[in-house]
Structure 1
Amino acid sequence: RIFEEAGLGESTALLSSVGIGVTNMLFTLLGINLIDRLGRKQLMYIGSIGYIISLSLVACAFFFEWQGMAVPIFLFLFIAAHAIGQGSVIWVFISEIFPNHLRGSGQAFGCSVHWILAAAIPAAVPFLFSTIGAGTVFLFFAFMMVLQLLWVHFMMPETKGVSLEELSKKLVKQ
C-alpha cells in the first residue's frame, strides 16, 4: 500500500516487498550477531536513530513528491534499522527485564501488547493515509521515534552482562 501510495506500480511494489524481506533477514542476522557484543541499549540507539532518519526521509518523499525509488530505499533503511535494533532487542530484553517469578507472565503480557499494536498500527494506516496524508503519518511516526530515543536514553537499563540482582537494584532506583 505504501509503495502504491508513492506512485510505484503493483509489480514494483511486489518487488520492493521482496527487497524488504531480504533486508529484514540480513539485518536481523546482523543484530543477533551484535546484541551480545554491543549491548541492547546500543542497538536501540542505532535503531532509534535509523528510525528517525528513515521515517523523516519517507515523510519528505511524500511531502515533496519525490519520484522513483526514494520511498522504497528509505523504507529499506527503516527495515534495516528495525531489524538491527528494536526487532532484535525486544525479544532478548523482554526475557531479561522480568524477575524469575514474573518472567512468564511478563513475557506473555509484553508479547501480547507487541503483537496487538503490530496489527493495529498497520490496520490504521490506510485510514490515516486517506484522512491526514502519508507524509503526515510518517512525520508522526518519526516524532514518536524521537520519544522512543529519549526513553532509551533516560529509562531503559542495559541488561547485557547484568545479573538479575543488579538489574533489580537499578530498576528500584528509577
Structure 2
Amino acid sequence: MNKTWNWSLTVALAGFLFGFDTVVISGANAPIKELWETSAWFHGVFIMSMALWGTVLGSLAGGIPTKLIGRKNTLIWVGILYLISAVGSGLAQDPYSFSFFRFIGGIGVGASTVAAPAYISEISSAHSRGRLVALYQFNIVFGILIAFISNYLLSGIGGANDWRFMLGIEAIPAALYCLLIFGVPKSPRWLIVEKNDEASALATLKLIHENELDALKELQSIKDHNTVESRSSNLFSG
C-alpha cells in the first residue's frame, strides 16, 4: 500500500506542475508586454494564451500516446515538456519563441490530465482509488498556491528580468518530477490490454498487493473486464 501511495504521489506531481505552470505566467504579464511592446490583442490572444491553446490540444490528443506508448511513458514526456518549456520560456528573447515554449508546456499540461488520473486509478485498489486520484486534483491547487508565493518571493530579484526567474524556476520541480517518474512501474492494466504482457503485469500487481493470491485475482479481473469490453466493442462495430 505504501508503494501505491508513493507512486500515486509521484504521478500526482504532474498536477502540481499543471497548477504552477498555469499561474506562474501572471508574474510575466506586464514585464513582457512592456519589453516586447506588443499590441493588447497580440499579447492577450497569442502570448498569454498560448499555454492554454496547448492545454486544449494536449487534453484532446493525450489519449493517443497514453494508449500507444503507455501511461508511464506519456508521463515521462509530460515531464520533459514541462522542463523544456520552463527553461525555454525563461531564456526566450522574443515573443515568438516565448509563445512556442509556453505552447509545448501547455501540451504537457493537457496530456497530464489524461495520463495521470488513468495511471493512478489503474494501480490503486477500489477502496483507495478515490483518495489517490484526488491527489492529482489537490496538487493542481497546491501548485497554483506555490506559484503565487514563488512570484512574490522572486519579484524584484532580477530587476527588469525577474519574470525570467519566475518562469525558469519551474525547471526545478520539473526536473525532479522527470527523475522520480522513472521509478514508477508501468500500469498493469495497460500491460495486459495493450501489450498482452501478463508476466510484467503480474509482477507489478505483486508489488501492489500484500499476497500473490490477491495479485492473481486482480490479474484475472483485468483480463475478464478486457474480454467484456472487447465483446462489446465487436458487437457495436459489427
Between the two proteins, what is the percent identity of the paired residues? 18
Indicate whether 1:123 and 2:160 are aligned. Answer: no
Name the residue aligned to 1:60.
91
Compare CA radii of gyration and give the structure with the larger one: 2
1:142 deviates by 0.9
> What 5-or-longer segments of structure 2 have no aligned partner?
1-25, 193-197, 211-238
Q: Could you say if the C-alpha distance between residues 76 and 112 of structure 1 is closer, same or farther in structure 2, counting changes exceeding 3 Å?
A: closer
CA distance in 2 between partners of 1:148 and 1:94 (Å): 16
CA distance in 2 between partners of 1:59 and 1:106 (Å): 33
> What 5-or-longer segments of structure 1 have no aligned partner?
none
CA distance in 2 between partners of 1:35 and 1:98 (Å): 18
CA distance in 2 between partners of 1:21 and 1:145 (Å): 19
Q: Deviations over 1:145-172 (max 9, x none)?
A: 111111011x212112358865342357
Matched AA of 2:121? S
Name the residue aligned to 2:43.
13
Aligned length: 166
CA distance in 2 between partners of 1:73 and 1:125 (Å): 23
Name the residue aligned to 2:107.
80
Q: Deviations over 1:122-163 (max 9, x none)?
A: 33354144143222233321122111111011x212112358
TM-score under structure 1 length normalisation: 0.78
CA distance in 2 between partners of 1:99 and 1:125 (Å): 36
Name the residue aligned to 2:3.
none
Q: Could you say if the C-alpha distance between residues 117 and 40 of structure 1 is closer, same or farther in structure 2, counting changes exceeding 3 Å?
A: same
1:15 deviates by 0.6
Name the residue aligned to 1:99.
125
Alignment of 1:1-174 (within 5 A): 1=26, 2-6=28-32, 7=35, 9=38, 10-16=40-46, 17-61=48-92, 66-84=93-111, 86-108=112-134, 110-132=135-157, 133-153=162-182, 155-159=183-187, 160-161=190-191, 166-171=203-208
User: Is the CA contact (8 Å cut-off) linking 1:4 and 1:13 kept in structure 2?
Assistant: no
